[in-house]
Structure 1
Amino acid sequence: MDVRQAPKFPAWPQYDDAEREGLIRALDQGQWWRMGGDEVDSFEREFADHHGAEHALAVTNGTHALELALQVMGVGPGTEVIVPAFTFISSSQAAQRLGAVTVPVDVDPHTYNIDPAAVVAALTPRTKVIMPVHMAGLMADMDTLAKISAENGVPLLQDAAHAHGAQWQGKRVGELGSIATFSFQNGKLMTAGEGGAVVFPEGQTESYEMAFLRHSCGRPRGDRRYLHRISGSNMRLNEFSASVLRAQLRRLDEQIAVRDQRWTLLSELLGAIDGVVPQGGDVRADRNSHYMAMFRVPGISEENRNALVDRLVERGLPAFAGFRAIYRTEAFWEFGVPDESLEAIADRCPNTDAISQDCIWLHHRVLLAGEQEMHATAEIVADVVATA
């Protein structure tokens, strides 16, 4: 263990009297599920408004948000969903659990976001949805993806689990014309421990109403006679979680502004380190939420990368290995896979393979610290990489 003093970073999650008051408010309602209280309804209105969407539907977690959105969009047996190969496994499993085939495609080596050219190459008559993931809150190329979507009649589903409050050319996630999903898991930019949301842009009220039915066991609002209209599941968020999320939402913008300032500095410092390449962004993404501070050490082996992460943790940084390519997990191959070998998928995803091997990320609470901590963080990374 290194005996030098580690930099001090804020704790996460963050909370104060706003969360306490919200929990008491939910408790005092005497009704703690969404059908009897006001917290979930209020949170949905506030979250939709914050993201420029017509509707928001709060659900149990981000994985369920993806699964629900995909089902509403017609994904099921006989269909395919294109996803980036470099992402958290839920992006893939949400489609696979509906009986669809997940088709992984390569990502841009600079932004780590889905490569539009790879999307075009993977389109087939069975493609039902294209799922861009806004990696670490740095938004994917929504202009090119929207053009591909329109030309091929295949809708987009934004996996915005990292992108609360982000914007693309001045437009918020809910203003980009496609359904989007969010996660409120404990590490996310706003959290109630777990939770998720699906946001619906203007003109998709019918999809929202379908999603509401499916997230509530197929049961319409106000039903007293068990008139379940369609098949569904129980994905309803509870009132206590919604009360916490309302408080979390109120401080989101201020935290994003701090993270963006700190990332501007930290990425410059990391980029000056020999052998380190920070994640790049797209200038058209004019507000990035920075869920992670990501960087690569090109050429390092996976084993040495993992050892480097351990060393960073010993030095006091909340560091993690980058996501494993989804096709290099056992879970991916259980069901709903394309008719290709692992090697064939890897051959067409060279950027994903490289990033999965050499990428490291730091928890976003690093970016809530002061400028001094950014310099200390870069110094630790430089020292550890130099001695790796």
Structure 2
Amino acid sequence: MSPRPGPTFPDWPQFDDTERRALDRALSQGQWWRMGGSEVDSFEREFAAHHGGGHALAVTNGTHALEVALEVMGVGPGTEVIVPAFTFISSSQAAQRIGAVAVPVDVDPDTYNIDVAATAAAITPRTRVIMPVHMAGLMADLDALDKLASDAGARILQDAAHAHGARWQGRRVGELGSIAAFSFQNGKLMTAGEGGAVLFGDPDEYEKAFLRHSCGRPRTDRRYHHQVAGTNMRMNEFSAAVLRAQLSRLDSQIDVREQRWAYLSTLLAQVPGVRPQAGDPRADRNPHYMAMFRLPGWSEERRNLLVDRLVEAGVPAFAGFRAIYRTAAFWQVGAPDESVDAIAARCPHTEAISQDCVWLHHRTLLASEQALAETAAIVADAVAAG
């Protein structure tokens, strides 16, 4: 591959005096945890309003967001949670760590979202929750999944770790009738380094989650009357202050990323052997947490060498997620009574995507069109050399 200068991408996380003022505001209020300060409460109201209503509970990270949501939904020993096989491991571990069995199902080969037919085939009387992951910000087929869940007496938990500000047929996440969990980890679309949130439509479920995230203790308790078994998942005031600032620029960043993905995906599609992640017209606002593409037919080793070449050329590239059932962690607790080979046989698309998928950090989509043209050229050179 001939050398060429690397494109210029903006840094991530992005911040300015808005975050500095927010941190000073949290510092000066004199109370730095949520029970005495105002930043977490304010962030929860603002985040819920931004996503169409409901009640947001801010927590320590996105994995905890999934865990507390699942607990409120009645997930535990004797129950099953259906998850996409192609996702970050937290999607399954959140269910497994609270005693449930995580059941991986295949994904669509073009959108990388959970496959509806595969989900339907996996439902049993023990299925309590179906957990679609909105991969790279592209919302899964919630219409079909909602019907499946309703018919089965199960519920939907949206893993929206990639989907801040997303919409499905004009409706924001808080307007879709199901619980959603978000992450604010350092690479996410808005971040305080770590953090998470759960968006509830039902105020009673929000209150149940509040108790569980605060050691089972009511917010007005002064005598240690812990009402339920819980743990400490409380977000601190400094993180909430930063997230309020991050939320203020989320929409403008999504606007840029949507425009840039339309441009970059067109260029990538012209590279022989490259297939960009497909869209869905019903998902009419996609925040594009990742710029993803496949190289169908490539081996995992060949894909990994390509990622190395892109990184050496200055492109923030990563290998796609490993199939969750092909990690040691998946089998330690709460795994289905199946072999790896049996799961792999019913997840052929996950098998392929895990080997041939590449993703670029979303900061690439905040760069100029010139930088994206250079990126596409580097990808073309790297693929040709591969």
TM-score, shorter chain, exceeding 0.5 = yes
Q: C-alpha deviations, 1:358-383, integer Å up to 9, x for none?
A: 00000000000011111111100001
1:166-315 paired onto structure 2 within 5 Å: 166-201=166-201, 204-315=202-313
Q: Is contact 2:184–2:192 with CA below 8 Å preserved after alignment?
A: yes
Q: Is contact 2:76–2:99 with CA below 8 Å preserved after alignment?
A: yes
CA drift of 1:222 comes to 1.1
CA drift of 1:3 comes to 4.8
CA distance in 2, matches of 1:315, 1:376: 10
1:12-23 paired onto structure 2 within 5 Å: 12-23=12-23
Out of 357, 360, 363, the residue aligned to residue 359 of structure 1 is 357
CA distance in 2, matches of 1:302, 1:334: 24
Which position in structure 2 is the counterpart of 1:321? 319
Q: Is contact 2:214–2:232 with CA below 8 Å preserved after alignment?
A: yes
CA distance in 2, matches of 1:6, 1:271: 21
Q: Is contact 1:113–1:132 with CA below 8 Å preserved after alignment?
A: yes
Identity of aligned residues (%): 75
1:1-388 paired onto structure 2 within 5 Å: 3-201=3-201, 204-388=202-386
CA drift of 1:4 comes to 2.5
CA distance in 1, matches of 2:2, 2:42: 48
Amino acid at match of 2:222: R
CA distance in 1, matches of 2:131, 2:8: 37
Q: Is contact 2:293–2:359 with CA below 8 Å preserved after alignment?
A: yes
CA distance in 1, matches of 2:270, 2:4: 23
Q: C-alpha deviations, 1:106-131, integer Å up to 9, x for none?
A: 00001000001111100000001000
Q: C-alpha deviations, 1:54-98, integer Å up to 9, x for none?
A: 100000000000001001100100000000000000000000000
Structure 2 SS opposite 1:180: strand
Amino acid at match of 1:247: A
Amino acid at match of 1:101: V
CA distance in 1, matches of 2:2, 2:193: 32
Stretches (4+) displaced over 2 A: 1-4
TM-score by length of 1: 0.99
- Which stretches in structure 1 are left out of the alignment for 5+ residues? none
Amino acid at match of 2:342: A
Amino acid at match of 1:230: V
Structure 2 SS opposite 1:156: strand
Q: Is contact 2:2–2:381 with CA below 8 Å preserved after alignment?
A: no
Q: Is contact 2:72–2:205 with CA below 8 Å preserved after alignment?
A: yes
CA drift of 1:2 comes to 7.0
CA distance in 2, matches of 1:228, 1:53: 29
Q: C-alpha deviations, 1:310-336, integer Å up to 9, x for none?
A: 000001100000000000000000010
CA drift of 1:48 comes to 0.3
CA distance in 2, matches of 1:272, 1:359: 17
Provide the aligned C-alpha RMSD in A.
0.8
Change in Cα spacing, 1:385 to 1:3, as seen in structure 2 (3 Å) is: closer
Amino acid at match of 2:128: K
